[in-house]
Structure 1
Amino acid sequence: MATRLLSPKLLNDLRYFTRPLNSASSASITAVSPLNLDEKPKPTAVERPPINQPSTTLDLNDHQKLFDSVSTLQLLRSSANLGLASIEPFVDFGLWVMNSRLLETSLIRGVILKTVKHTFFEHFCAGETTEEAGECVKKIQEAGLRGMLVYAVEHTSDNAGCERNLEGFLRSVEFAKSLPPSSVSFVIAKITAICPINVLRRVSDLLRWQYKDPSFNLPWKLNTFPIFCDSSPLYQTLQKPEPLTPQEELDFQLAHQRLLRLCQKCVEDNVALTIDAEDTSLQPAIDYLTYSSALMYNRDDNPIVYGTIQSYLKDAKERLFLAEKTAEKLGIPMGFKLVRGAYMTSERKLASSLGYDSPIHNSIQETHACYNDCASFMLERIADGHGAVVLATHNVESGQLAASKARDLGIQKGNQKLEFAQLYGMSEALSFGLRNAGFQVSKYLPYGPIDMVMPYLLRRAEENRGLLSTSSLDRELMGKELKRRLKNLQFSKPEITAPSSIKVEIGTQ
């Protein structure tokens, strides 16, 4: 099957991609301009919230109600950790320390890792073992949330390491099955953990070149959904790549077999699997593996395999549309996790070094608009009986708009095809607000030995420095709730009022 499966007419329909998140439902997608959060709504005959006003679906002001399931000790620790993470010089110093040669000295390394473990590791990670992760899942379930289990391995260079990582992912699925029903929404996997990086890069080059030249033959290629669109960045492959060597082809086949084993395990245990996204130099091969596996295993109404779309990429909307519409045409239910993206600095540096425009949107407003448009499109698809989506966002306005859109479309709260998600330790107010509004909400729970999880923590600190520095809503609401609880404490003994008379009755049996 060729990658371009859609008719010219369907491609022309891209200009009708989506409606604003707060528009009312209809049977078809109507033409509108991209979501503009500064645009004033036009009067309509349908009673609905104004397009650019936050929905009243979520209440993010009642700090007592939001944090009623969080202990005072946990509030204190979270507030302290978020406060530290919001200080950019502190984050810069921490990044320098973790990347320095200080970690080569065993004594100093031990002190540093112990400090990290009892601060940021405990705040952003679910533990070092599956047992600790399980306790974390049970804790957040008591708070009305679900867990996404993330065995935090990535970037492997050899097949032996890939096999070890696969066993870890399989254990995650087995462990998810053993936890209370519905407490785990997804198991998360990274293709970079089960396929050598150099092979992913080579396959991505070949896929890009075939998109440029459809006559370019890839004998190993299986059926898949569209991976590219006309606006996709192809500058990473400037020359015709050599075919895969026999060893590279074998390594790639082994990687695909690992993913299929993981998918089969997820089907057997009825645990959904989400494949995380990487940078654009690797993403084509990741999408290829994800989509070809989805074609094999997404047979029932609720998909098992989910891919990830990074909305900070300029081609995100078009690629999402093409993949989802092709899935519908083939009768395959497809799930997507929508994120904003996590490789902004490296993507811009690479594009600039090659003399090309960045594949990332030029402004944060454009990224927000793209995310909201993608969310709107997928909510429309769910309302029409197609697809599934995880709306992974820390942006309060995106959460409010999506919740309002779901309500207007008549998507029932608790619908298995709609999940909101935030990172563990971040955007607690949004998570609890969505929970209180009746939606399914998950927390992304990375776990594993601290040495193994360290790359995740370092990347999270670097990529989210802007987000962490603007986590003022959580810190403000946590502060108010702590003040309220402190105020309600009684520091003096209650007064004892002596009764005016005491009646004592003495009797015998």
Structure 2
Amino acid sequence: MKQHIFDNTEVAFALKSNAELNRAYVLFKMISYERFVKVGTHLTHFALKVKLPVWGLVRKTVFDHFCGGVNAKDCLPVIDAMYDKGVSSVLDYSVEGKDNEAHFDDAMQKIVEIIHFSTDKAAMPIVVFKPTGFGRFNLYQKISEGKSLTNDEQAEWDRVVARYDTVCRLSKEKDVEILIDAEESWMQDAVDDLVTLMMTRYNTERPIVYNTLQMYRHDRMAFLEAQYQLAKAQGFFLGYKIVRGAYMEKENERALKMGYETPICESKQATDINFDNSAKYILDHLDTISIFVGTHNEQSCYLVMDLMKEKKIAKADNRVWFGQLYGMSDHISFNLSAHGYNVAKYVPFGPVKDVMPYLIRRAEENTSVAGQTGRELTLLDAEKTRRKQAAQ
């Protein structure tokens, strides 16, 4: 694509006041220093442990930049403002709870509430949940490893299946699409099988249930192709959110420690190729598979845009969505929406202290992704300069 639509900072930051623009610049500047992030992370953990009164400061800075609010209703001003610019919202309850049945039931109930909250709101066509919000990691892992379950574990797994079924059934009833995140590879097979089961039940007319493909895994293209053959044979639809992945260091370390081949691609370039190939494959099979392109990579977005044009896929075709995290890559989200594409922001929410692990990960990931923070700073600086010149 010859035009560089993502350079338009006036569109990208139209919703930000000068004060918010400056706050974003300061935040990303701090995040750009790895040592600062490490020290800040340790101080935050200390503040949590000794219960220092830091929540007001956190709320006014990093929380308000990366989160929509403390509860769903609190997010409405953000949701409405973004939708005025054509960007939809995916409410993401980002509280990381405890590993027990009461928590899993509470997490399911929270998703049920979000589905009801989203019903009839054009700005909120999609919801999301994390597999370990609905069941124990070790239980997923045991099933993924093909080990037999005890009677108690089987009853526990039946409850996990029931939670998935409850939210997926409600999603179909309310016509709200549901994205199910991916996690570590050694528990993911159980998730994949369960999500495929939900697809066979509820993706009968069109995709409602979406699985997530982490394309830094070199086996995901083969999985995608096998799923396509299964869907064609059994007559249901597929929905996939494609991402690069978030557990690379953990995956490589475990593979090395336990002596098996890492599931991670050999290089960043190989991951990029894998990601782009999955997008191409899905767009070639759009009659059966819908796609949510979850990326902050501009080149991958341009590729999908080019392929849509080449294949004469309408920009507003509901089978193709782009997505980014709230507080990041506004230059991608708002410029895509300005050009008529379907775009949704993941909008995290929850009590400030409970969302801190999420906020710490955002800071760490921005530090580790080469060029990400630098690009944010360049664009923010360009917009600050543009506004100063416009005011003269």
Please state which band the TM-score falls in when normalised by the shorter chain: over 0.9
Instruction: Report the equivalent of 1:471.
Output: 373
Residue among 241, 251, 259 paired with 1:337:
241
* Per-residue Cα deviation, 1:181-237 (whole angstroms, up to 9, x for no partner): 2x113100111111122211211111xxxxxxxxxxxxxxxxxxxxxxxxxxxxxxx
Instruction: Report the equivalent of 2:28.
Output: 82
Q: State the 1:57 CA deviation.
A: 5.5
Q: State the 1:477 CA deviation.
A: 2.1
In structure 2, C-alpha distance between the alignment counterparts of 1:359 and 1:114, rounded to whole Å = 42
Question: Is 1:274 equivalent to 2:179 in the alignment?
Answer: yes
Contact residue 215 and residue 242 of structure 2 kept, 8 A: yes
Instruction: Report the equivalent of 2:189.
Output: 284
Alignment-mate amino acid for residue 194 of structure 1 = F
Q: State the 1:298 CA deviation.
A: 0.8
TM-score by length of 1: 0.74
Question: Is 1:430 equivalent to 2:332 in the alignment?
Answer: yes
Residue among 63, 85, 96 paired with 1:121:
63
**Between structures 1 and 2, the one with greater helix share:** 2
SS at match of 2:185: coil
Instruction: Report the equivalent of 1:23.
Output: none
Residue among 88, 91, 99 paired with 2:45:
99
Instruction: Report the equivalent of 1:415.
Output: 317
Alignment of 1:452-491 (within 5 A): 452-467=354-369, 470-490=372-392
Contact residue 315 and residue 340 of structure 2 kept, 8 A: yes
SS at match of 1:359: coil
In structure 1, C-alpha distance between the alignment counterparts of 2:125 and 2:370, rounded to whole Å = 25
CA gap 1:366/1:425 in 2 versus in 1, 3 angstroms: same
* Per-residue Cα deviation, 1:457-489 (whole angstroms, up to 9, x for no partner): 223333342237533233212212211212232
Q: Percent identity?
A: 30
Q: State the 1:322 CA deviation.
A: 1.0
CA gap 1:66/1:124 in 2 versus in 1, 3 angstroms: closer
* Per-residue Cα deviation, 1:251-284 (whole angstroms, up to 9, x for no partner): 0001110111111111121110000000112111
In structure 2, C-alpha distance between the alignment counterparts of 1:247 and 1:397, rounded to whole Å = 49
CA gap 1:155/1:463 in 2 versus in 1, 3 angstroms: farther
Instruction: Report the equivalent of 1:352.
Output: 256
CA gap 1:58/1:298 in 2 versus in 1, 3 angstroms: farther
Q: State the 1:78 CA deviation.
A: 2.0
Instruction: Report the equivalent of 2:285.
Output: 381
Alignment of 1:13-412 (within 5 A): 55-56=1-2, 58-100=4-46, 102-106=47-51, 108=52, 110-111=53-54, 113-154=55-96, 156-177=98-119, 179=121, 181=122, 183-206=123-146, 241=147, 243-300=148-205, 302-382=206-286, 385-412=287-314
CA gap 1:67/1:98 in 2 versus in 1, 3 angstroms: closer
SS at match of 1:268: helix
TM-score by length of 2: 0.95
CA gap 1:389/1:58 in 2 versus in 1, 3 angstroms: farther
* Per-residue Cα deviation, 1:74-93 (whole angstroms, up to 9, x for no partner): 32222222222222111111
* Per-residue Cα deviation, 1:407-447 (whole angstroms, up to 9, x for no partner): 11110010000000111111111112222222111111111
In structure 2, C-alpha distance between the alignment counterparts of 1:151 and 1:468, rounded to whole Å = 28
Contact residue 66 and residue 433 of structure 1 kept, 8 A: yes
SS at match of 1:60: helix
CA gap 1:172/1:330 in 2 versus in 1, 3 angstroms: same
Q: State the 1:157 CA deviation.
A: 1.8
Q: State the 1:144 CA deviation.
A: 1.8
SS at match of 1:337: strand
Alignment-mate amino acid for residue 319 of structure 1 = F
* Per-residue Cα deviation, 1:319-359 (whole angstroms, up to 9, x for no partner): 11111221122111110000000001111110010122321
The number of residue pairs the alignment matches comes to 392
Alignment-mate amino acid for residue 44 of structure 2 = M
Greater C-alpha radius of gyration: 1
CA gap 1:260/1:374 in 2 versus in 1, 3 angstroms: same
Alignment-mate amino acid for residue 147 of structure 1 = S
Structure 1 residue ranges without an equivalent (≥5): 1-54, 207-240, 491-509
Q: State the 1:155 CA deviation.
A: 5.9
In structure 2, C-alpha distance between the alignment counterparts of 1:468 and 1:83, rounded to whole Å = 14
In structure 1, C-alpha distance between the alignment counterparts of 2:237 and 2:290, rounded to whole Å = 8
Q: State the 1:134 CA deviation.
A: 2.1
